Amino acid sequence: MRVLLRPSPQVNAAVLGIIGRALTLYEVQLHAFVVLANRMSMLLTPRNARQLSRFMGYVKGNMAKIIGGMHDWYGPLWHSRYRTVEIADAAMEEARLRHLLASCCAEGLVASPRQWPGASCVSALLDGTPLTGVWLDRHTLPSAGRSADDFMSGVCFDHYPVSLTPLPSWRRWSEARRRAKCREMVAGIEAEFAARKRYALPAFRGTGSSERHWAPTGSAYALE
């Protein structure tokens, strides 16, 4: 995948808007997500496979059209279909959440998940920061040849929140306990990658895939 998702205020707002609108339309339970410059990962629970497919098709299709348009790119954005990993139990839920949170560090981009400037769930999980994006009406998007600076001119938009749902195994936990657990995860990630000392923003690298994690009714899935 091209690095068209490279973080910027405009890209971040549009990405969150697409995810927020998709959640409104398809009502999957989104537990966590991070969008890197060339891929994204999600942890979510759908009612069934059809709902999951429609949600991901909407997210990836609109990212290709809207984010691609911001960069005057109207070709394919994604190299492949998303990969799904079924989550079997609570231990795997937590392992996959940690894997998702650590992805920006594992790519050598930053020393801490808190430092990643792109769209992600980190501030919401750790501090309860509300996530809100901007939905850009595709019918008012400019045609090819517009610069990134004036792409937003004349575009109709609306705001959508990105609401996160606790992991299935954390549903009975208090909000304070869930935040404390996420902070503990992030502290562990920071310690691990401080020892490795391998990070170099903004030298974006990656595999060019998108991942999501999801589960059958009542359980979670990971998507990449």
**126 or 212: whose pLDDT is higher?**
126
Question: Domain locations in the chain?
Answer: 9-223
On the question of pLDDT at 149 being above 60, the answer is: no
Distance in angstroms (rounded) separating the CA atoms of residues 94 and 100: 10
Answer yes or no: are the C-beta atoms of 177 and 11 closer than 8 Å. Answer: no
**194 or 171: whose pLDDT is higher?**
171
On the question of pLDDT at 140 being above 90, the answer is: no
User: Band of the pLDDT at 75, cuts 50, 70, 90?
Assistant: low
pLDDT at 10: 87
Compute, in degrees rounded to 10, the torsion defined by CA atoms 196, 200, 206, 211: 70
User: Band of the pLDDT at 67, cuts 50, 70, 90?
Assistant: confident
- State the average pLDDT for the chain: 81
pLDDT at 86: 87
